[in-house]
Structure 1
Amino acid sequence: MTNTQTVSYPRILRLKQLTERIGLGRSTIYDRMDVQSPRYDATFPLPIKLGAGAIGWIDSEITAWIEKRMSAKKTRLSFKGPFTGEQAESPHAALS
């Protein structure tokens, strides 16, 4: 009898794969990691060094970052005003 267990290894995303995965451009990604940038995001995963001139991002950390942003969005959209008990208006309501 053979045991066929699936072993999961960490996946590394290079910059091109990362831009395709999260939909942000190269400069925006680097801005997210730059403390001096107005687009800095302290929660954005930092890359790991792969070699002399190569870096990559751990796929599971990118997935966690995306999920965290998705849950933050759900929280914002379901927020109820403290005084009226009314649900907050959708940011897209003015467009419809």
Structure 2
Amino acid sequence: MNNIANAHRHARTRIAEPAARSASASSPDQVDREFQDIVLKQLERILASFRSNGQSNQTGQVPSPRAVRLPEVLKLLGVSRSTLYNRLDESSPQYDPDMPRPFKLGKSDRAPTAWLHQDIVVYIESCVAARSSH
């Protein structure tokens, strides 16, 4: 755990130094904005790297859509089943209109329900982006 804390502290110092140097005569608000800009740019680079690594398979083709079932969706989101369904329920205080809607894998009422994996990934990215913009 100490190694993780030390790595985090080192990374934070490495990120903060350029902002502090460039804003030596600036207000604290300006320093905060510059620090946030630096962090946001680094996060965007990391996200772009993940996207480029995951967008194509070994032949360079974009993978076909992949349906994921409830257990995997719960694992990806890190939420309980009731939380997921509350986010989908318009009458719930936890309702989230951006939460991807499931679909049936067939025409029957008994057909399994699934979500598109990419929709879940985009939803997670939008939650991260919303958090970093506050």
**What is the TM-score normalised by the length of structure 1?**
0.70
Q: CA RMSD in A?
A: 1.3
Q: Choose between structure 1 and 2 for higher RCO, CA contacts under 8 A separated by at least 6 residues.
A: 1
Structure with bigger strand share is 1
| The one of 85, 93, 107 aligned to 1:38 | 93
Deviation at 1:60, TM superposition (A): 0.7
Q: Which sections of structure 2, spanning at least 5 residues, go unmatched? A: 1-58
What does the per-residue CA deviation read over 1:37-64, in whole Å, with 9 as the maximum and x for residues that have no partner?
1111001000011133311000111111
Counterpart secondary structure, 2:121: helix
List 4+ stretches of structure 1 deviating above 4 A: none
Structure label with greater radius of gyration: 2
Query: How many residues in Structure 1 have an aligned counterpart in Structure 2?
Result: 73
User: CA, structure 1 residues 5+70, in 2 after alignment: closer, same or farther (shift >3 Å)?
Assistant: closer
Give me the whole-angstrom Cα distance separating, in 1, the residues matched to 2:62 and 2:133: 35
Deviation at 1:6, TM superposition (A): 3.1
**What is the TM-score normalised by the length of structure 2?**
0.51
| The one of 107, 121, 127 aligned to 1:63 | 121
How many percent identity over aligned positions?
A: 37
